[in-house]
Chains A and B, each alone.
Chain A
Amino acid sequence: MSTETQDRSLASARAHAVKDTLAQAEAEALRLVKRRARLIVFWRLAILFGVLGGWEFAATVGWIDPFFYSKPSLIAMQIYEWSLHGTSQGPLWLQVAVTLEETLIGFFIGGTAGIVCGILLGRNQFLADIFSVYIKIANSIPRVVLGSIFVIALGLGMASKVALAVVMVFFVVFGNAFQGVREADRYMIANAQILGASPRQVTTQVVIPSALSWILASLHVSFGFALVGAVVGEFLGARVGIGLLIATAQGAFNASGVFAAMIVLAVVALMAEYLITYIEGRLLKWRPAQFSA
Chain B
Amino acid sequence: MSVQRGEFCAIVGPTGCGKSTTLSLITGLLKPTTGTVRVMGQPVNGIDPRIGFVFQNDAIFPWRDVISNVASGPMFRGQDPKQAKSLAQDWLRRVGLEKFPLHYPHQLSGGMRKRVALAQTFINSPEILLMDEPFSALDMQTRTVMQDELLQLWAASGGSVVFVTHDLEEAIALADKVIVLTARPATVKHIYEIDLPRPRVMSEVRYDEAFIHYAREIWDDLRAEVKIG
Residue ranges of A at the interface with B (Cβ–Cβ < 8 Å): 185, 187-188, 190-198, 201, 205-206, 209-210, 212, 284-288
Are the C-beta atoms of A286 and B47 separated by less than 8 Å? no
Partner of A196, one of B27, B49, B61, B106: B49
Are the C-beta atoms of B106 and A191 separated by less than 8 Å? no
Are the C-beta atoms of A190 and B59 separated by less than 8 Å? yes
Known: A190-B55, A191-B55, A195-B120. A286 touches B62 (CB 8 A): yes
Which of B7-15, B69-77, B216-224 lines the interface with chain A? B69-77
Known: A190-B29, A191-B55, A288-B106. A198 touches B76 (CB 8 A): yes
List 14 additional contacts besides A187-B59, A190-B53, A209-B63; criterion CB under 8 Å. A185-B59, A191-B53, A192-B72, A193-B47, A194-B27, A195-B72, A195-B76, A195-B120, A196-B49, A196-B73, A196-B124, A201-B76, A285-B104, A287-B106
List residues of chain B with CB within 8 A of the CB of A187: 55, 57, 59
List residues of chain B with CB within 8 A of the CB of A287: 62, 106
A286 to B62, CA, bound (A): 7
Are the C-beta atoms of A196 and B52 separated by less than 8 Å? no
List residues of chain A with CB within 8 A of the CB of B49: 196
Q: Does residue B64 face the partner (Cβ distance < 8 Å to A)?
A: yes
Whose C-beta in chain A lies nearest to the C-beta of B79?
Answer: A196
Whose C-beta in chain A lies nearest to the C-beta of B57?
Answer: A187
Whose C-beta in chain A lies nearest to the C-beta of B46?
Answer: A193
Known: A286-B106, A287-B106. A196 touches B59 (CB 8 A): no
Q: Does residue B60 face the partner (Cβ distance < 8 Å to A)?
A: yes
A195 to B60, CA, bound (A): 11
A193 to B30, CA, bound (A): 12
Residue ranges of B at the interface with A (Cβ–Cβ < 8 Å): 27, 29, 47, 49, 51-53, 55, 57, 59-65, 72-73, 76-77, 104-107, 120-121, 124
Whose C-beta in chain B lies nearest to the C-beta of A208?
Answer: B63
List residues of chain B with CB within 8 A of the CB of A210: 63
Sample of 8 A–B contacts (CB below 8 Å): A194-B29, A194-B52, A195-B72, A198-B76, A205-B61, A210-B63, A285-B104, A288-B106
A201 to B76, CA, bound (A): 7
List residues of chain B with CB within 8 A of the CB of A196: 49, 73, 76-77, 124
Partner of A286, one of B52, B59, B104, B120: B104
List residues of chain B with CB within 8 A of the CB of A197: 72, 76
Known: A201-B76, A287-B106. A194 touches B53 (CB 8 A): yes
Partner of B51, one of A194, A201, A209, A288: A194
Closest 9 CB pairs of A and B: A191-B59, A288-B106, A196-B76, A195-B73, A196-B77, A197-B76, A286-B63, A187-B59, A194-B53
Are the C-beta atoms of B64 and A286 separated by less than 8 Å? yes
Whose C-beta in chain B lies nearest to the C-beta of A195?
Answer: B73
Partner of B60, one of A190, A191, A284: A191
Nearest-neighbour CB distance to chain B for A197, whole angstroms, equals 4
Whose C-beta in chain B lies nearest to the C-beta of A288?
Answer: B106
Are the C-beta atoms of B47 and A194 separated by less than 8 Å? yes
A28 to B124, CA, bound (A): 53
Nearest-neighbour CB distance to chain B for A190, whole angstroms, equals 6
Nearest-neighbour CB distance to chain A for B41, whole angstroms, equals 21
Whose C-beta in chain B lies nearest to the C-beta of A189?
Answer: B59
Nearest-neighbour CB distance to chain B for A235, whole angstroms, equals 42
List residues of chain A with CB within 8 A of the CB of B61: 188, 192, 205-206, 209
A197 to B57, CA, bound (A): 19
Known: A194-B27, A195-B120. A188 touches B77 (CB 8 A): no
Nearest-neighbour CB distance to chain A for B56, whole angstroms, equals 8
List residues of chain B with CB within 8 A of the CB of A205: 61, 76
List residues of chain B with CB within 8 A of the CB of A191: 53, 55, 59-60, 120
Interface centre among B27, B49, B52, B61 (most CB of A within 10 A): B61
Whose C-beta in chain B lies nearest to the C-beta of A289?
Answer: B106
